[in-house]
Structure 1
């Protein structure tokens, strides 16, 4: 019998590979990213820039399976983050170069996203896994040995 939802480990790996592709497009090292699969799948990328109106606060790119990508300013731990823009569009998993353009345009003051989160139809974990599958193709299994010379 086939399971209706993918296992958490596979979903986490595929989301991780997608986030690494986005990080590369945005110019963020892997160590500045996190992925979490719990009741909601989420991702975080710490960006190497400050926001002009809040020069002492870091900027982050956040993804949620419920809202997609958003660009936000980190605040004090007791305060909610300040969302600058939401990516918008119908694609919950837009191509990494589209996410990079969204970040660059928003940082330049060309708001290409939305000021409010878009209503997203609840995606099943299976449909999310299908959208992320292309990013998992070439990723090695965790713990697998890399052949000598390759």
Structure 2
């Protein structure tokens, strides 16, 4: 996971540098074109503008390719994990896979870790989308309850 994050950060930093450089060149060429008003400088400005648009398209395509590669890598990891489980279960006693056996205990532990991970995602998304409540008072709770009840009764 760390390498993916580092790669994305590096790509974004390089894109920002290139974008800033192209924007500076565009501004310089526009200034020159405004000063001289000759057709050649206008063509140069148009060329730089086209390069900027091409760069944005190229950056979007590379981002899409990165996501596609990440999906393929996750698919491969999932396949290998399933194969690993199959190989390990081949060496386990039959009581391991029976109902109420150790396999069920392992599934419960995995379920709890998945729930904790998903709750973390919900918490982070909630913090991003909604502002934090500074002060919780009895009146604000009652007002919230009243607004919810009116919404439910409206249907």
Instruction: Normalising by structure 1, report the TM-score.
Output: 0.20
Larger % of helix: which? Answer: 2
Larger % of strand: which? Answer: 1
Instruction: Normalising by structure 2, report the TM-score.
Output: 0.20
Structure ranking higher on relative contact order (CA contacts 8 Å, 6+ apart): 1
Structure possessing the higher radius of gyration over alpha carbons: 2
